[in-house]
């Protein structure tokens, strides 16, 4: 695969690793997407994440996870590999606070009965430290989570799209339920303030879960 020489393009060892990831995922999605499509998604996912990452050492690892999630979303949206459960997408500006907290709470409440994603219209470099700490207090680890850019495929896959402060950046598609939650941004808060946001989100998410899961 040829890539243009941009700042976001992988070089050397990382490009080799991305090709290996593409080959692995081509086998995983055999019969769903062709190798060229899979490789394009892997390299596009890398470039999207590289725009906000200062340290690129672990980029191939999270690129694989991001590409898998996007390919699963696309397969679901196209009816090639339906998930069989409701799909929810939480969107905020940086995907470093509110949307990550809401996603973690809904995953915990529904235990696989709902497929949950989160994304940001302008993703940050990393999750907010107080957000990570506040969620850890209630036994929910965000250690493996990372800010992800909002992509068309995850919006198309969603049955419910919850936005929080990202304005009109989320594309609108018919047949989906859209809600805008007016939740304060924890980015400028201390830990006590983030705990308050966590409680507000928990109430909202509990109500949403009751609507989605009988």
Say whether 170 is catalytic. yes
| Six-digit token string for 146 | 């990372």
| Catalytic one of 131, 166, 194, 197 | 166
Closest residue by Cα to residue 134 from 181, 164, 161, 96: 96
Helix axes 129-137, 98-110, angle to 10 degrees: 20
Residue 24 CA to residue 138 CA, distance in Å, equals 36
CB-based burial label for 185 (10 Å; 0-12, 13-18, 19+): middle
| Catalytic one of 38, 62, 91, 92 | 92
Q: Which residues pair with 115 in a beta bridge?
A: 87
Say whether 20 is catalytic. no
Phi, psi of 162 (to 5 degrees): -110, 120
| Catalytic one of 71, 162, 170, 189 | 170
Active site residues: 92, 166, 170
């Amino acid at each position: 695969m040829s890539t243009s020489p941009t700042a976001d393009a992988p070089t050397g060892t990382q490009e080799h690793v991305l090709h290996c990831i593409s080959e692995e995922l081509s086998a995983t999605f055999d019969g769903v997407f062709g190798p060229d499509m899979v490789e394009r998604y892997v390299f596009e996912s890398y470039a999207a994440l590289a725009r906000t990452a200062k340290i690129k050492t672990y980029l191939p690892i999270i690129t694989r996870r991001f590409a898998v999630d996007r390919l699963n979303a696309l397969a679901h949206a196209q009816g090639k590999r339906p998930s069989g459960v409701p799909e929810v997408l939480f969107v905020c500006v940086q995907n470093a606070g509110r949307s990550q907290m809401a996603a973690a709470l809904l995953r915990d409440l529904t235990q696989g009965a709902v497929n949950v994603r989160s994304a940001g219209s302008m993703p940050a470099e990393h999750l907010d430290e107080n957000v990570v700490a506040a969620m850890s207090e209630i036994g929910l680890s965000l250690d493996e989570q990372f800010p992800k850019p909002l992509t068309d495929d995850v919006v198309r896959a969603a049955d419910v799209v919850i936005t929080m402060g990202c304005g009109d950046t989320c594309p609108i598609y018919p047949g989906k339920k859209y809600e805008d939650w007016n939740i304060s941004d924890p980015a400028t808060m201390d830990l006590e303030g983030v705990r308050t946001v966590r409680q507000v989100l928990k109430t909202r998410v509990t109500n949403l879960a009751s609507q989605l899961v009988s």
